[in-house]
A and B are shown apart, each in its own frame.
Chain A
Amino acid sequence: MSELEAAVGAGVLGADEAHRALLQATVEVARAIYGAKAASVFLLDEAAGELVFEAVAGEGEGELIGMRFPADTGIAGWVLTTRQPLIVDDLSSDTRWSRTAAESTGYVPKSMMAVPLLVDERVLGVLNVLDRPAESRVRLSEVDLLGLFANQAAIALDLLQRARRARAALAGEGRLAPLARVAARLEEGERDTAFELLQALDRLLAETS
């Protein structure tokens, strides 16, 4: 129910966009800091066993969102299952990976930094930074920095998922949908009687629980 409160409080419809913007800002900063061609976040769809492009900055921006691929293969899959960050240069020599990447995105990066997005015990997805400048030799401090970015991206992704779940519960045929409609209507004009009714309902539920 805390998600419901959060969703109603934040304005159900606006929250999704705000959290998506936060995620987008994170990948944009990651891309800028590393001077990379692209940065992206994959969301893990656990039920489908797939990774989904959730935010992209740079190469592929605007085209890849929503694209899916299997979560248990390739470099992102390895990062996801082992919870270990991995930095790979000269990716093009990994033919299996390149082919998969090219088929799904049309873009084959030369290098990739991939780090798991972890919130508490859960792994939510993977943050990727693709094609840093060729001359930039990776340092371990950059790996640590990537971990910090991943932490931020993971929080944004967590918020986005919460907002989506709340929205699903409140939308259309969801059991709590009437509540969302009531909340929306309460904002329209003078609704003193409706507020009194709401308070009475609250008291009734408190007494019977």
Chain B
Amino acid sequence: MSAAIEFHEHADEEDLPAWSLPAEAVDRIRVPVTLPEQVTRDWAWGGSTGAGVRVCILDSGVELDHPLVGRVDRSVAVIRDDDGELQVVDDAEGDVAGHGTACAGIVRELAPEVELTSVRVLGSGYTGGGEILLRGLAWAIEEEFQVVNMSLSTTRTKYVERLHELADRAYFKRVLLVASAHNMPVESFPWRFASVISVGSHEEADGLTFYYNPTPPVEFFGRGLDLDVAWLNGGTLRCTGNSFATPHIAGICALILGKHPYLTPFQLKSVLYQTASNAEAAA
């Protein structure tokens, strides 16, 4: 482990200034220069397996014992209890749609040694979906997963403010939200927020090929076309959609964080930019 990691793990946050910086405190907030002069893919994730990185799949659940997914460290679901309150409870349902399993399998393929946790926010009744999504996301942020895959969005503007707050909270807690963009002419969230990493699809067949988009709000394009993904009952399915491009970028982020766990979301976004397939330096 490098000195930089030691610094962050042992710093006592209580001693650190929050709202202003007295002169004598400057020494206590020295931070390492984390990016080298030339950020290459080899520097970014060469040799990384994603080991030590906790990835959360916010979706329809993840099937247990799927050969393409492997170990799922924890599965929870957001449910409404008898009093109408939302609760996060341990979940044995697996995957109610197949989609969460697909996302988990893609992350596992790219970053084989990540720890996977499933938060099921879909499939427990159609109504109240937005509230359930917010609760699941809040839980994932409280649990401080390094990467949260969100291959979903909401069109309800009444949730925008709370989603925005959660996305900002995640950003400052170093919880990286990777969210599917919409390829339809509608407004939806949270992928439009600058604090998340938004993902659309490209047409190439390599999982590590990804592009930075110089004209956001869609910031990155990942592999999203004609993929054989993990699906229900240990099977696979050939799928297309931004939903599958998203876990590709989430997986790449997990690889990077496996090697450089101290990166903040803004640094990580810079690393993605520098290592994108359309960036000169990446070659």
A: which residues have CB within 8 A of B? 44, 46, 49, 71-75, 77-78, 80-91, 93-97, 115-116, 118, 120-123, 137-140, 143-144, 147-148, 150-151
Contacts and interface: CB of A to CB of B under 8 A. Distances in A.
B122 interface: yes
A123 B152 CA distance: 14
B223 to A, nearest CB: 11
Interface string B221-239: 0001110000111011111
A97 B98 contact: yes
Contacts of B126: 44, 46, 49, 71-72, 77, 80-81
Contacts of B99: 78, 82, 86
Contacts of A73: 96-97, 123
A84 B182 contact: yes
Contacts of B232: 94-97
Contact of B97 (A75, A83, A85): A75
Interface in B122-159: 122-127, 129, 151-158
B127 A46 contact: yes
B118 interface: no
A88 B231 CA distance: 11
B214 interface: no
B240 interface: yes
A85 B184 contact: yes
27 contacts: A46-B127, A49-B125, A49-B126, A72-B125, A77-B97, A78-B122, A80-B126, A81-B129, A82-B152, A82-B153, A82-B180, A83-B153, A84-B152, A86-B243, A87-B239, A88-B238, A91-B237, A93-B236, A94-B98, A95-B233, A95-B235, A96-B98, A96-B232, A137-B226, A138-B225, A138-B226, A143-B240
Sorted from nearest, which 6 A-B pairs have the closest CB atoms?
Answer: A147-B184, A82-B152, A87-B240, A89-B238, A78-B97, A71-B126
Contacts of A151: 184-185
Given A86-B241, A89-B238, A140-B183, 18 more contacts: A49-B127, A73-B123, A77-B123, A83-B155, A84-B152, A84-B153, A84-B180, A85-B184, A85-B241, A88-B239, A90-B238, A93-B237, A97-B232, A121-B157, A140-B203, A143-B183, A143-B201, A147-B184
Interface residues of B, number: 45
A84 B239 CA distance: 13
Contacts of A121: 155-158
Given A94-B98, A147-B183, A83 B243 contact: no
A19 B151 CA distance: 33
Given A72-B123, A75-B97, A143-B240, A83 B154 contact: yes
A107 to B, nearest CB: 18
Contacts of A87: 239-241
Interface string B85-127: 0000000000011110000000000000000000000111111
Which of B152, B184, B201, B225 has the most C-beta atoms of chain A within 10 angstroms of its own C-beta?
A: B184
Contacts of B201: 140, 143
Contacts of A44: 126
A134 to B, nearest CB: 12
Nearest to A143: B183
Contacts of B186: 83, 118
A81 B123 CA distance: 8
B48 interface: no
Interface in B193-226: 201-203, 224-226
A80 B60 CA distance: 12
Contacts of B183: 85, 140, 143-144, 147
B243 A84 contact: yes
B164 to A, nearest CB: 16
B75 interface: no
A183 B263 CA distance: 70
Interface in B54-108: 60, 96-99
Given A84-B182, A150-B184, A139 B153 contact: no
